[in-house]
Structure 1
Amino acid sequence: MTIKSVLFDFDGTLADTLPLSFKAFREVFLKYENKLLTDEEIIETFGPTEEEIIENNIFNKDLVNEAIEYYYVIFEKHFHEMVTMPQEILDLLKELTLLHIKMSIITNKSRKCLDICLKNLGITDFFITTIAGDEVTLPKPDPEGIYRSIHMMNLRSDEVVFVGDSNADITAGKSANILTIGAHWFGTVQNTEFSIEPDHIFTRTEELKSFIKEL
């Protein structure tokens, strides 16, 4: 078995952006719905893009666009305060690049939100492709994004692994019949326990690097 590509989820896998997302959603729902949501309650809304989550949970539809803009105001305002580029993730991306491993991101984030993150973290150029949640018909746990990424890179399923921190990631990978890696190297992840067992669970990026080298 030879691995030629690593597909990554984004939130909780490549960057510890979940606390910032929680803050932005919490402020939106507090302002527009007068509800103070816990992290767990916010996670329960995950699946659609940020825009769709807000649209689905704001009662007054006339305020949806305003609420979405407010989300991004909060997200960008607090980005550098709450999100940093971990050296171990940067080292991982650099080493995989040196190994000529093609990398892709498959996320349920919106294109706008993903681009904000990649630009601010300075890691855009590491990835051959990035597929956002509003660029597929069916987001994860559906494997559409995985299939599209594999096709774009002209690879076979047995040449690819998918790395993510959520049940949706592992389900999507299993549905696409590719090797799945549960990423638990950040303090905040979507699922601390997987309902569907990944092929491997790594708590340090070094484990992923060693695994890819062995294959």
Structure 2
Amino acid sequence: MEKRALLIDFDGTLVDSEVVHYDSWQHVLSPFDIHYTEQAFCLEFAGVPTLQAAAVIKARHNLDVSAQWLCEQKNQQFVLTSEQVKPRLLVGVKAFLNAAKQQFTLVLVTGSTRNEAIPVLAHYELLDLFSATICKDDVINPKPDPEPYLKALERLSIKPQEAFALEDSTTGLQSATAAGVQTIVIPHEYSKSQDHSKASFIANDISEAWEYIQKNTYIETI
């Protein structure tokens, strides 16, 4: 069956946003006198949904605020922080997206909110390359639940076998594979130690992922 679409993650896959997420969290946690080093925080929480990270932090430090409140404060701070310093576009991403658009329908499938992801893509003039965007606001159950990917497939009216997913972390990998989508993982510094054994391919960078996609666009089915 021929692949028709690429379902692409945002954080860690298209942009190097871990530092911006870290800085946003530190801003929220500083009034509670809670401080993490960048390496310690990112190694533990890279790819982890914000609400889940908030629940861990609340329990660990016995905070008298809700995990939902922490989550909302962090999301708001990320928007403010990224207005000042946009997350860096990862090497090769713009060339990849422009090439891929000529062959595939592109859909953004992210655990970030629209306010977090869309302005960044617009800033880099990449938003128009995507035929659809599935953000955290669009689903009831975000990654690692399969709902975001199932919603993307439904939006395009295609089968799971007709798409590739591109992810950087175990959280996204679980979401995509649970939806039945063949997944390529491109680990980064903070996600490379995670379990990616369910990935169809593990790429060193997005250029290597693109080579794999081109070689495997058509898969024989029995």
Do they fold alike, i.e. is TM over 0.5?
A: yes
Residue of structure 1 in register with 2:220 after alignment: none
Structure 2 equivalent of residue 193 of structure 1: 194
Task: Measure, in 1, the Cα distance between the counterparts of 2:23 and 2:128.
Answer: 28
1:120, 1:212 → 2: CA distance?
A: 27
Question: What is the TM-score when the length of structure 1 is the normalising length?
Answer: 0.82
- Offset, 1:145: 0.7
The correspondence for 1:145, drawn from 133, 144, 148, is 148
TM-aligned CA deviation for residue 26 of structure 1: 1.5
Q: How many angstroms apart in 1 are the aligned matches of 2:41 and 2:84?
A: 23
Q: Which residue matches 1:37?
A: 36
Structure 2 gaps, min length 5: 218-222
1:72 matched to 2:79? The reply is yes
**Cα distance in 2, alignment partners of residues 205 and 45 from structure 1:** 18
In structure 2, relative to structure 1, the CA distance for the partners of 1:121 and 1:189 (3 Å cut) is farther
Superposed displacement of residue 84, structure 1: 3.1
Amino acid at match of 1:34: D
**Residue 70 of structure 1: how far off its partner (Å):** 4.1
CA deviations over 1:119-144 (Å, ceiling 9, x no partner): 22221011111111122111111110
Distance 1:67 1:164, change over 3 A: closer
Structure 1 alignment gaps of length 5 or more: none
Secondary structure at the aligned position of 2:15 is classed as coil
Secondary structure in 1 matching 2:92: helix
**Contact 1:157-1:176 within 8 A present in 2 as well:** yes
The answer (yes or no) to whether the contact 1:5–1:161 under 8 Å persists in 2 is: yes
Sequence identity percentage: 19
Match of 2:14 in 1: 14
Question: In the alignment, is the contact (CA less than 8 A) between 2:184 and 2:199 conserved in 1?
Answer: yes
Aligned to 2:167: 164
SS at match of 1:213: helix
Aligned partner of residue 161 in structure 1, secondary structure: strand
**TM-fit CA distance, 1:195:** 5.1
- Aligned equivalents of 1:174, 1:13: Cα separation in 2: 17
Match of 2:124 among 121, 124, 146: 121
| Residue 86 of structure 1, CA deviation | 4.0
1:206 corresponds to: 207
**What is the alpha-carbon root mean square deviation over aligned residues?**
2.7
Map 1:44-63 to 2 at 5 A.
44=45, 47-49=48-50, 53=54, 57=58, 59-60=64-65
Q: Which amino acid aligns with 1:59?
A: D
Q: What is the rounded CA distance, in whole Å, between the counterparts of 2:135 and 2:26 in structure 1?
A: 22
| Structure 1 residues 158 and 67: alpha-carbon distance in aligned structure 2, compared to 1, 3 A threshold | closer
Match of 1:105 among 104, 108, 129: 108
Larger deviation, residues 158-167 vs 118-127 = 118-127
The CA deviation at 1:196 is: 4.0
Question: Are the aligned partners of 2:79 and 2:115 in contact in 1 as well (CA < 8 Å)?
Answer: no
Q: How far apart, CA to CA, are the structure 1 residues paired with 2:90 and 2:73? A: 33
Give 1:134's aligned residue: 137
Closer, same or farther in 2 for the Cα pair 1:209/1:48, shift >3 Å?
closer
Letter of the 2:83 counterpart: E
1:88-124: CA deviation from partner (whole Å, max 9, x where unpaired): 111100111122x011111111121112221222210
